[in-house]
């Protein structure tokens, strides 16, 4: 299981606004700013997002490498995928593929995919068979 990911973005304030408009629809509602001077030498400032008592998605200012990262976010329902996709488009994302079954993976794999303002591929995913306790 992953603990966290850093995404390097070209305009951290623009990215914060984008992710604050999108992630709450997935239940990711916590925000935290980490001052890099509190870490080891050359630690970047970080802007974090999380849920359930954990911070796991972090933004840092720098030169994006959009083709190097694809992030899949868990959705709890088909309607959550649909709503998050629409919110992402309103917030400035570009569509890669609209919501629907991803039959090439599994008929129960329902997802939508967008590019964030830096071109990172984001997927909002509902897998009915992966619902657990």
Q: What is the pLDDT of residues 90-113, one digit of tens each?
A: 999 999 999 999 999 999 999 999
Q: Number of structural domains, the chain?
A: 1
Q: 69, 93, 129: which is closest to 19 by C-alpha?
A: 93
CB distance 26 to 74 below 8 Å: yes
pLDDT of 101: 97
Nearest alpha carbon to residue 33 among 69, 5, 60, 62 = 60
How would DSSP label each residue in 16-42? HHHHHHHGGGGT--EEEEE-GGGSSTT
Q: What's the CA dihedral at 24, 67, 130, 58 to 10 degrees?
A: -40
Output the pLDDT for position 2. 84
What pLDDT shows up at residue 16? 97
Q: Residue 102 maps to which CATH number?
A: 3.10.180.10
Q: Per-residue pLDDT averaged across 82-94, rounded?
A: 98
β-strand pairing of 109-115 with 121-127: antiparallel
Answer whether residue 133 shows pLDDT above 80: no
Alpha carbon 128 to chain centroid, angstroms = 20
Question: Is 44 or 133 the better-scoring residue by pLDDT?
Answer: 44
Give the closest residue to 127 by CA, choosing from 90, 72, 87.
Answer: 72
Determine the pLDDT at residue 28.
97
Q: Are 125 and 108 in contact (CB under 8 A)?
A: no
Over residues 33-51, the mean pLDDT reads: 92
Range of the domain at 43: 5-130
Check pLDDT > 80 for residue 132. Answer: no
**CA-to-CA distance for 9 and 22, rounded, in angstroms?**
16
pLDDT band at residue 131 using 50, 70 and 90 as cut-offs: low
What's the pLDDT at 110?
A: 98
What pLDDT was estimated at residue 130?
A: 82
Mean pLDDT of the chain: 95
């Amino acid at each position: 299981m992953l603990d966290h990911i850093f995404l390097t973005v070209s305009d951290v304030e623009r990215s914060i606004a984008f992710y604050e408009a999108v992630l709450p629809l997935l239940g990711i509602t916590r925000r935290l700013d980490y001052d890099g001077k509190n870490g080891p030498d050359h630690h970047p400032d970080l802007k974090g997002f999380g849920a359930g008592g954990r911070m796991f998605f972090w933004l840092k200012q720098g030169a994006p490498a959009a083709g190097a990262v694809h992030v899949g976010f868990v959705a709890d329902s088909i309607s959550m995928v649909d709503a998050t996709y629409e919110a992402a488009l309103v917030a400035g994302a570009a569509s890669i593929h609209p919501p629907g079954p991803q039959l090439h993976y599994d008929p129960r794999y329902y997802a939508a995919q967008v590019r964030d303002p830096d071109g990172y591929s984001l997927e909002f995913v509902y897998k009915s068979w992966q619902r657990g306790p």
